[in-house]
Structure 1
Amino acid sequence: MQTRVSTKGQVVLPGLIRRRLGIRTGDSLDASVENGRIVLAPQTKRARRARITKDPLTGLPVLDAGAGAPALTSKEVEEILASFP
């Protein structure tokens, strides 16, 4: 995959890569140079288990990631669903 560097030195990580590594908005990355290559690595790995439960108000199934789980934006949900089989 290809990406570009903006005039501000910013690089956009493609959505497929972010989803594969579980990288979300606000996550910290370690940056280093190895053998002439730029290497970015997530600082921490999330270890969360999600489960499907029934919403007590609507009775509809919902995904529950537990207390303290970060809230997803509508755009993040759209990205996740776009890659769902």
Structure 2
Amino acid sequence: METKLSTKGQVVLPQLIRKSMNLRAGDKLDVGIEGGQIVLVPRKKRAGKGRIIKDPLTGFPVLTAGKNAPVLTQKEVEEILAEFP
């Protein structure tokens, strides 16, 4: 993909890249040079927004994980619960 540098030194990231990286206006990026190339790295990955839905089995409201929420293993869940008071 190609983009260009504006007279103000601004670069527009193509929509496909913004969507695939879940980037929005105002997100902070670290900028550096590696091997003679400009590198942009998002400061933090967005977890995405969770949603409250009705559980089809119980009918109770439940919070769903966001699009990029980390996946926990059974062992990680057990370790977290072991530390819970």
Q: How would you bin the TM-score normalised by the shorter chain?
A: 0.5 to 0.7
Q: Which sections of structure 1, spanning at least 5 residues, go unmatched?
A: 54-64, 67-85
Per-residue deviation, 1:49: 4.5
2:11 alignment partner in structure 1: 11
Counterpart amino acid of residue 23 in structure 1:
L
Matched residues in 2 for 1:31 and 1:42: separation?
A: 9
Look at both structures and tell me which one has the larger radius of gyration over its CA atoms.
2
1:40-51 equivalence runs, <5 A: 40-51=40-51
TM-score, with structure 1 as normaliser: 0.58
CA RMSD of aligned residues (A): 2.5
Identity %, equivalent residues = 58
The 2-side partners of 1:16 and 1:52 are apart by 28
Structure 2 residue ranges without an equivalent (≥5): 54-64, 67-85
Aligned to 2:29: 29
After the TM superposition, which parts of structure 1 deviate over 6 Å for at least 4 consecutive aligned residues?
A: none
CA deviation digits over 1:15-42, x for unaligned, max 9? Answer: 0000000110100000000000000010
Q: Distance in 2 between matches of 1:50 and 1:6?
A: 36
